[in-house]
Structure 1
Amino acid sequence: MTAQQRAERSAAQMWSTDKASQALGMEIVEVSPGGAVMTMQVRAEMLNGHGICHGGYIFTLADSAFAFACNSYNQLVVAQENTITYLAPGQPDERLTATAVEVAKTGRSGVYDVTVTGEDGRKVALFRGLSRQVKGQHFEE
């Protein structure tokens, strides 16, 4: 099995039980070893009192991309710590894209950066996720 096949199979297994990402209408655009790209359409019920996308939804999109990136090696991995910096608002009816990339992976710990962009390419948020591998695999190899 190639590393790419392992990443795709791990993502498929995770996606099958990821009710949160599914309920928010997220889509996996791409997954690779240590990386993932996900999108989410900003719906009316995701808007805050300012009429822009609530930061919690932006965080959730970034967190989901982070999860698929760090789980791409067929090892069970959870978040240890995450931070986000909001740079621009997500607009109503806009499709946001979260691109997760692995920065470092040593032993059971990893560092991943996620950039959330709007349809026009502007940076909406920067997210950093620290991961921790736990016991188990997504599927038998």
Structure 2
Amino acid sequence: MTEDPPAEDAARELAQRCMRAMLDADAASASLGIRALWAAPGQAEMAMTVTPVMLNGHQIGHGGVVFTLADTTFAVACNSYNRTTVATGCDIDFVAQVHPGDELRAVAQERYRRGRSGLYDVTVRRADGVVVAEMRGRCREIPGVVVPEPEA
């Protein structure tokens, strides 16, 4: 007879399963090379390398690409409880430029979750630690699950 894993381990494993399922179905994020690093309940970290096709007319990283990295990380964090959750709004501040070859990492952290609503902050940094963007996302649970629930 095996013992059930501690609740914390089971919650982290569920968050990881949800992350993999979401990213496997996310063609937009895959096309930008967004990579999953880890997920835990209410948290996630993703990475992306800026390429020349991601530049805007000023030859710096396009804000929409940086936003997509932040938004994907937010989505993984807020869906980590295996409840289908969608964004209701986001605000982003771009505070530093990014250039081709820059490795970006986005970390999402749950700030508030109650009922069907949540609030998450996402920080995007270059590999040198410089913050390039801060995003705040709001979300709402809708019917459904991200991955099938295990049979009891």
Count of residues in correspondence between the two structures:
141
Equivalent residue for 2:80?
72
> In 2, distance between residues paired with 1:139 and 1:100?
21
SS of structure 2 residue aligned to 1:39: strand
CA deviation string 1:49-83 (max 9, x = no partner) = 21110000000000000000000000000000000
Q: CA RMSD in A?
A: 0.9
Larger Cα-atom Rg: 2
**Aligned counterpart for 2:104 among listed residues 96, 101, 111:** 96
The within-5 A match list for 1:1-141 is: 2-141=10-149
Deviation sequence 1:75-98 (CA, Å, 0-9, x none): 000000000001000121111111
After the TM superposition, which segments of 4 or more aligned residues of structure 1 sit over 6 Å from their partners? none
| Identical residues among aligned pairs (%) | 45
Q: Structure 2: 5+ residue runs without aligned partners?
A: none
Q: In the TM superposition, what is the alpha-carbon distance from 1:11 to its structure 2 partner?
A: 1.0
2:127 alignment partner AA: E
| Inter-partner Cα distance in structure 1 for 2:50 and 2:147 | 33
1:8 corresponds to which letter in structure 2?
Q
Q: TM-score, normalised by structure 1?
A: 0.97
